[in-house]
């Protein structure tokens, strides 16, 4: 039980943010026309690559001879970056096609 209180207490601000963003996220996306489901999914997917920030922080905090962390971090950055760059690019490509025939 103490653990639970500690968990809440330590992260109170984060938990506030968490709850509000869940409401906000639900509200922002609730009225999407079917045409945009795929681009939205792919765009949201690109945003989930935000986990790259963690990988960058990880490598920056590591010492330069800790090759285990450096290697894992390198792969983390690379994989997340594929997700980010590829995700936004693919979404843009899809949306460009929608654009064309809107006179």
Partner 1 sequence: MEGTITNFIYLICISLFIIGLKKLSSPDSARTGNLLAAAGMIGALIVTLITPLPDGDNNYPWIAGGILVGTIIGLVAAKKIKMTAMPEMVSIFNGLGGACAMLLSIVEFYNHPSGEPLLSGQIITTFFALFVGSISFTGSLVAYGKLDGFLRDSLVPPAPKVVNMLLLLIILTVSVYTMLQPELNFTYIMVVLILSLIYGVTFVTPIGGGDMPVVISLLNSFTGLGAALAGLIYGNQVMLVGGVLVGAAGTILTMLMCKAMNRSLLNVIVGGFTVSGGSTAESGDQVAKVATYADTAIMLKYAQKVMVVPGYGMAVAQAQHTVHDLEKILEAEGVSLKYAIHPVAGRMPGHMNVLLAEADVPYPKLLDLDEANREFPSTDVVLVIGANDVVNPAAKTDTASPIYGMPILDVEQAKNVIVLKRSMNPGYAGIQNQLFFGERTRMLFGDAKSSISKLIEEMNNV
Name which of residues 38 to 97 contact partner 1 (CB under 8 A): 38-64, 68-70, 72-97
**Minimal distance, residue 97 CB to partner 1, in Å:** 5
Say whether 65 sits in a helix, a strand or coil. Answer: coil
Q: Which among 13, 75, 27 has a CA at the least distance from the CA of 67?
A: 75
Residue 11 sits in the site that holds partner 1 (CB under 8 A)? yes
Residue 10 sits in the site that holds partner 1 (CB under 8 A)? yes
- Site residues for partner 1, 17-36, by CB under 8 A, read 17-18, 21-22, 24-26, 28-36
Say whether 12 sits in a helix, a strand or coil. Answer: helix
Cβ atoms < 10 Å from Cβ of 58: 15
């Amino acid at each position: 039980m103490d653990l639970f209180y500690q968990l809440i207490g330590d992260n109170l601000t984060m938990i506030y943010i968490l709850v509000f963003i869940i409401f906000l996220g639900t509200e922002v996306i609730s009225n999407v026309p079917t045409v945009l489901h795929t681009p939205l999914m792919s765009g949201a997917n690109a945003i989930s690559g935000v986990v790259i920030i963690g990988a960058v922080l990880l490598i920056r905090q590591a010492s330069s001879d800790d090759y285990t962390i450096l290697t894992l971090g390198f792969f983390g950055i690379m994989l997340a970056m594929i997700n980010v760059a590829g995700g936004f690019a693919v979404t843009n490509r899809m949306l460009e096609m929608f654009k064309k025939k809107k006179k």
